[in-house]
Amino acid sequence: MLYYMPMKTYKRTIRTLSHSFYDLKYHLVWTPKYRGKVLASQKVKDELRRIFETICKWKHWEILELSIQDDHIHLCLLTTPKDSISYVMQMIKGKSSAWLKKKIKRMHGLYENHSLWARGYYASTVGIDEYIVRRYVRHQDKYNEITQPSLFDKLKS
């Protein structure tokens, strides 16, 4: 009988609050509005990384993995039980959009009155497969090389 053993094991650290123990990890994905490639600049990526780290330190969250692609973001995050996932996304998307717009005044056609991020997001809990999810996020740029068919390919023919 074969047993699956991950190549690298992550130490599972149980965190505590005054009346609870927790290990809440999420895989989050979201995109800029209209899936535009506004995150392509290294300056923007570096600033977003700094902003995410600042927000997470302020809220006592921990970034496990972060991958900023040209048109989307993957984030593995450890949160506290007092914060819902909708609150986490509200803080991350809201603060990062506002702070990035202040830092980079006119960012690739996005102006002050427009939102940087699209309305939705993807959220999944990370459990036993933490290694696989973290490896996927870490190597996102390699997975992104595969070209996906366009929705408009059928209109051309």
Instruction: Give the active site residue among 22, 87, 136, 143.
Output: 136
d(CA 102, CA 93): 14
Tokens of 43: 């300056």
Token pair 């600042």: residue: 54
d(CA 47, CA 16): 31
Active site residue 136: yes
Torsion, Cα of 118, 124, 126, 127 (10° steps): 180
State the catalytic residues.
Answer: 136
